[in-house]
Structure 1
C-alpha cells in the first residue's frame, strides 16, 4: 500500500513524464523541421488528455475516478497511435518522420499510452484499502513544490501545443503532410 503523499508525488512525476514526451516531440519538430501530421497532433492531444487525471490527483487529492479518466484518455491516445502504426505497417513503407531510437514517434506513443494505462491500474491496486477520498466539496489541495511545477509545466506544454497547431494548420483542416506553418507564410 502506498501513502497519500507518495501517491501525489507519483502523480506529479507522471505529469513531468508527460511533459517530457511532449517536449521531445517539440524538440524534434523545431530541431529537425518535421511538422506533426494530423494523427501526430491527435496523439499530442491524447497526452494532454492523459494529464487530466494526474492534475486532478495533485490538485484535488487522489481518487479512483481520476485514475479512470487517465485510463480512458490512455485508451483514446493508444487508439490514435495504433491507427498511425497500422497506416505504415506495410513492408516498404518508410513511415512518417524519422525514427527515434529505432521506432517512429507514433510507435513510441502507443507504448507510452499502454504503460500509462498499466501504471494507473497498478496505482488503483496499491491504494490503501478503506482509505476514503476527499469529499467532493472540500477545498482544493494547496499546490507547492514538485506538484506545482509539474502542473505548470503541463499547462505550458498545452499552451505551446495549441499555438504550434494554430500556426501549422491555421483555421482550416491540417494538411496530411505538412511542410510549412500556414500562418507564418
Structure 2
C-alpha cells in the first residue's frame, strides 16, 4: 500500500466518522433528542478517532497515529457497551429513537468495532510508512484529505459548543431536557 492510497483511505475513514457525528447532530437538532452524558462521551471517542486520522492526513501515516485511533475506539466502544448494558435489561427503557432497529449507542458500538478492525488491518501494510526524500506538502496535496480534515474539525468544534450549551460549565443532566447554559442565561436576564 502506497502512502497516497493510505492517505485516501484515511480521508474516507474520516468522512465516515464525520457522517456518524453529523447523523447524531441531525437527531439532536431535528428531533430535539439531546445526547445523554454517555452519548456525549461516545462523541468524544469519535472525535478522538478523528484526531488519529487527522494526524495521518497532515503528517502521513504513522503507527503512533493508528495507536491513537485504537485507544480512542477502545474508549468509545467501552462507553457504548456500558450504555447497552444499562438498557439491556427488560423494563429499563432506552435512550433516543432507534435507527434501523438499533439505538444510537448500539450503532456506536458497531462503528467502534469496525474502526478497531479497520485500523488493525491498516497497521499491517508497512509500505505506507515509507516517506519520500522530498518534502511532502501537508495533506499530501490531496483535496479529499483537506475536505475530510476540515469537516471533522468543524464537527469537533460544533460538538464542543453544543456540549457547553447543553451542560454548561458543570455536570450534564441525565437525562437532559434542555440546553442548560441557555436556560441559565435566560433566567439571569
User: Normalized against structure 1, the TM-score is what?
Assistant: 0.92
C-alpha separation in 2, matches of 1:58 and 1:141 = 11
C-alpha separation in 1, matches of 2:76 and 2:147 = 24
Q: What is the aligned partner in structure 1 of residue 113 from structure 2?
A: 114
C-alpha separation in 1, matches of 2:10 and 2:114 = 14
Cα deviation code 1:149-172 (max 9, x no counterpart): 111001000010011001101111
> Where in structure 2 are the equivalents of 1:1-185 lying within 5 Å?
2-128=1-127, 132=130, 141-143=137-139, 144-185=142-183
C-alpha separation in 1, matches of 2:96 and 2:161 = 21
Cα deviation code 1:79-119 (max 9, x no counterpart): 11111011001013331111111001001001100100000
C-alpha separation in 1, matches of 2:76 and 2:35 = 15
C-alpha separation in 1, matches of 2:22 and 2:39 = 14
C-alpha separation in 2, matches of 1:94 and 1:24 = 22
In structure 2, relative to structure 1, the CA distance for the partners of 1:54 and 1:134 (3 Å cut) is farther
On the 8 A contact 2:36/2:174 being kept in 1, the answer is: yes
User: Normalized against structure 2, the TM-score is what?
Assistant: 0.90
On the 8 A contact 2:3/2:130 being kept in 1, the answer is: no
SS of residue in 2 equivalent to 1:128: helix
Larger helix fraction of residues: 2
On the 8 A contact 2:11/2:57 being kept in 1, the answer is: yes
* Deviation of the 1:134 alpha carbon: 7.4
* Deviation of the 1:128 alpha carbon: 2.7
C-alpha separation in 2, matches of 1:12 and 1:57 = 9
On the 8 A contact 1:74/1:114 being kept in 2, the answer is: yes
The 4+ residue runs of structure 1 with deviation greater than 3 A are 131-135, 138-141
* Deviation of the 1:66 alpha carbon: 1.1
C-alpha separation in 2, matches of 1:181 and 1:34 = 11
